[in-house]
Chains A and B, each alone.
Chain A
Amino acid sequence: MRYASANTNEQATNMSNRIPVSDFHAYPDAHGRFADYGGIFMPETLMPPLEELAAAYLAMREDPAFIAEFERDLKHYVGRPSPIYHAERLSAKIGGAQILLKREDLNHTGAHKINNTIGQALVARRMGKRRIIAETGAGQHGVATATVCARFGLDCIVYMGAVDIERQKINVYRMKLLGAKVVPVVSGSKTLKDALNEAMRDWVTNVADTFYIIGTVAGPHPYPMMVRDFNAVVGREARAQMLEQYGRLPDVLTACVGGGSNAIGLFHAFLNDREVAMVGAEAAGEGIASGRHAASLSAGRRGVLHGNRTYVICDDNGQITETHSISAGLDYPGVGPEHAFLKDSGRARYVGITDDEALAAFHELARTEGILAALESSHAVAQAMKLARELPKDQLILCNLSGRGDKDVHTIAAREGIEL
């Protein structure tokens, strides 16, 4: 009955607003719930495999041999730990707080996504599943999945919206070079959410031998927890690095939020450090007021999408509506349920960054620090720059630079009217 009286979204939000939480690391519960969010809203056919996955993963999570295997690959294959880099020239130019970058762009394949795909591929292998499916938006998760499938000798099929295939051609070719089959999705809005739908349809059809590697902290339980756990290495590392390099924790964390995996990856280790503030940067596209955005937490409402209760962007009939962002990786009408919980509990704050702000931050970082950030990550950089302007010089802002921008060079050139 806990949701039954959630008559309107206004009520729902107010009910769970500012709930006192004693231990943020105690979530989710056994049903995959982060207070009011999360859960397992899936067709019956997929419930037994989800139960099987949850049981298998919960055991592996405590298994020292599994953890050692995962950490070995993170070190020798991914190239972890990634450094924390003080963006001194950028900070000096702004003249406020110091911006520190957690360099996930330096990982193998160029983004945080590989932390998760290594983890899930190891789970799949241990469960004896040799056929891997994945969805991708920007192509980064698709590339990271194709990469680990090549590494572990697994079959790989990647679903990708036809619109995204068009705007991320280089990543499509990268996946093919790695031996993956890329299947264009032409249903619905032909973007990330539809790729997820199609991957689920594949899974329902081939449930016996197939493992679905979801690319963000969304989907039904245990995915939001499992993907978070695999990305939580980012925050664990960063927390230790901060203490070692600066003798203290950062004052504020910032990360971009599409589905929310890089953000929760950074935030998680710091959740019980109440003095550390957290700000998630969602894609405000052409501005929240324009309606062309992908800011589920800032401008969406409480609903259910892809197996979990969270904030979604939909119309009054409950139909998921098309989103917009310059970055394909943030172009998603839902968001991981743990972020919905962090928002309502007041532990983290979520704000919108427009296409133009992200682009400006991209250029600023390129010129002052010699780093081409992914357009997704540029949203986090833009937010870090905003915060730096407001905060005194001795404050430390730790920004997750979730990926590198090589994949976006064509998009940026086209937007600026340059033909390559």
Chain B
Amino acid sequence: MSQRIEQRFADLGQAGRKGLIPFISAGDPLPEATVAIMHTLVAAGADLIELGVPYSDPVADGPTIQHSSERAIARGVGIAQILGWVSEFRLTDATTPVVLMGYLNPIEIYGHARFADDASAAGVDGVLIVDVPVEEAETVALLREKGVREIFLVAPTTTDRRLAAIRARAEGFIYYVSFAGITGASQLDPLAVRARVEHIKQGGSIPVAVGFGVRDAASAVQVAESADAVVIGSALVATLAAATSRDAALAAAHAFLAPIRAALDQAVRR
């Protein structure tokens, strides 16, 4: 059973560093570049990779991720192919955790038992299903049996009663959604985030990653003051979307992430 997520957060804690989690839509901008982009992101300082499973009706996503999903779908990208990419990534990277993020219907159609088997075999460490709240978590209970972590969202609207239920079930890390809204919006309020993250952390030892509204080094540094890790999605997806070739995508990925890594490490040392 993989311990990659726990190991990674333990290592970060010991080193006194903050985690950097880039999100990309699997298969966008070019399906043949996805594995190489993952490696490039690791080389540029990613601690964990969130791989978006494209879905036709992403209700929590803004236009950037909607469009990137549409492009991937148009190229026929689906779970089987994505799991193949994770296996390929694992051939040369045995330590960087990979978390799949997406919506339930593609998994439902793939089949829950088959998905749990195949995701585990491919080397997927965690799954975050945006439209599976803690109440419906039994739906994907087979993942847990196969050692794939169930990652849950906590939102600004989450009540303490819900937070307790989520904490009791959460594995790997908690993903705190920094504002009530969709991905790609820019409503980040660092003070409000700090208060909420501290509140979430009071209840236990599970690491907290913060996403939504983190778009560059400055916002990453602000959020990392309280969070254990920061997730950067739409800004990276938009940068990659502009690339027209595989090499251009790799260069763009590196150029985007490396300065954020440097700023995070710099800020912690200060």
Tell me the bound Cα distance from A305 to B254 in angstroms: 36
Give the size of the chain A interface in residues (CB under 8 angstroms).
49
Do residues A3 and B112 form an inter-chain contact, with CB atoms below 8 A?
yes
The yes or no answer to B197 lying at the interface (CB within 8 A) is no
The yes or no answer to A175 lying at the interface (CB within 8 A) is no
The yes or no answer to A2 lying at the interface (CB within 8 A) is yes
In this complex, which of B108, B111, B153 has the most chain A Cβ atoms within 10 angstroms of its Cβ? B108
The yes or no answer to A4 lying at the interface (CB within 8 A) is yes
- Given known contacts A45-B180, A207-B180, is B108 in contact with A303 (CB within 8 Å)? yes
The yes or no answer to A14 lying at the interface (CB within 8 A) is no
Tell me the bound Cα distance from A320 to B58 in angstroms: 11
Do residues B105 and A312 form an inter-chain contact, with CB atoms below 8 A?
yes
Scan A373-391; emit 1 where CB is below 8 A from any B CB, else 0. 0000000000000000000
- Given known contacts A7-B112, A48-B158, is B60 in contact with A1 (CB within 8 Å)? no
Name the segment of A35-43, A233-241, A287-295 touching the other chain.
A35-43
Do residues B158 and A44 form an inter-chain contact, with CB atoms below 8 A?
yes
Do residues A44 and B133 form an inter-chain contact, with CB atoms below 8 A?
yes
Do residues A44 and B177 form an inter-chain contact, with CB atoms below 8 A?
yes
Contacting residues of chain A (6-46) with chain B, CB-CB under 8 angstroms: 6-9, 31, 39-46
- Given known contacts A4-B139, A188-B70, A319-B55, is B153 in contact with A43 (CB within 8 Å)? yes
Do residues B57 and A188 form an inter-chain contact, with CB atoms below 8 A?
yes
Tell me the bound Cα distance from A7 to B109 in angstroms: 8
Tell me the bound Cα distance from A307 to B103 in angstroms: 11
Do residues B112 and A318 form an inter-chain contact, with CB atoms below 8 A?
no
The yes or no answer to A200 lying at the interface (CB within 8 A) is yes
- Chain A residues near B58: list those with CB within 8 A: 197
Do residues A314 and B109 form an inter-chain contact, with CB atoms below 8 A?
yes
Do residues A318 and B181 form an inter-chain contact, with CB atoms below 8 A?
no
Do residues A205 and B141 form an inter-chain contact, with CB atoms below 8 A?
no
- Given known contacts A45-B156, A312-B105, is B138 in contact with A2 (CB within 8 Å)? yes
Contact of A41 among B77, B131, B141, B181 (CB under 8 A): B131
Do residues B104 and A304 form an inter-chain contact, with CB atoms below 8 A?
yes
Number of A-B contacts (CB under 8 A): 153
Do residues A48 and B181 form an inter-chain contact, with CB atoms below 8 A?
no
The yes or no answer to A317 lying at the interface (CB within 8 A) is yes
Contact of A193 among B57, B108, B110 (CB under 8 A): B57
- Chain A residues near B162: list those with CB within 8 A: 44, 47-48
Scan A298-338; emit 1 where CB is below 8 A from any B CB, else 0. 00011111110100101011111100000000000000000
The yes or no answer to A183 lying at the interface (CB within 8 A) is no
- Chain A residues near B157: list those with CB within 8 A: 44-49, 207
Residue of B nearest to A193 (CB): B57
Contacting residues of chain B (36-70) with chain A, CB-CB under 8 angstroms: 54-60, 62-63, 66, 70
**Chain B: interface size category:** 35 or more
Taking the nearest CB of chain A, how far is it from the CB of B185, in angstroms?
A: 7
- Chain B residues near A72: list those with CB within 8 A: none
Residue of B nearest to A321 (CB): B56
Scan B149-179; emit 1 where CB is below 8 A from any A CB, else 0. 0001111111100100010000000000100
The yes or no answer to A272 lying at the interface (CB within 8 A) is no
Do residues A6 and B182 form an inter-chain contact, with CB atoms below 8 A?
no
Taking the nearest CB of chain A, how far is it from the CB of B4, in angstroms?
A: 24
Contacting residues of chain A (236-287) with chain B, CB-CB under 8 angstroms: none
- Chain A residues near B180: list those with CB within 8 A: 45, 204-205, 207-208
Do residues A1 and B106 form an inter-chain contact, with CB atoms below 8 A?
no
Tell me the bound Cα distance from A344 to B157 in angstroms: 36
- Given known contacts A42-B131, A201-B182, is B113 in contact with A5 (CB within 8 Å)? yes
- Given known contacts A7-B113, A48-B162, A319-B73, is B60 in contact with A204 (CB within 8 Å)? yes
- Given known contacts A44-B153, A188-B57, is B78 in contact with A317 (CB within 8 Å)? yes
Do residues A1 and B158 form an inter-chain contact, with CB atoms below 8 A?
no
Tell me the bound Cα distance from A205 to B153 in angstroms: 16
Do residues B106 and A318 form an inter-chain contact, with CB atoms below 8 A?
yes
Contact of A4 among B105, B113, B185 (CB under 8 A): B113
Tell me the bound Cα distance from A207 to B77 in angstroms: 33
Residue of B nearest to A206 (CB): B180
The yes or no answer to A187 lying at the interface (CB within 8 A) is yes
Taking the nearest CB of chain A, how far is it from the CB of B127, in angstroms?
A: 14
Tell me the bound Cα distance from A303 to B139 in angstroms: 12
- The 6 sampled A-B contact pairs (Cβ below 8 Å) are A5-B112, A43-B60, A43-B133, A201-B62, A204-B180, A318-B109
Given contacts A312-B105, A319-B105, 6 further A-B contacts (CB under 8 A): A3-B138, A44-B158, A201-B60, A208-B180, A303-B105, A306-B57
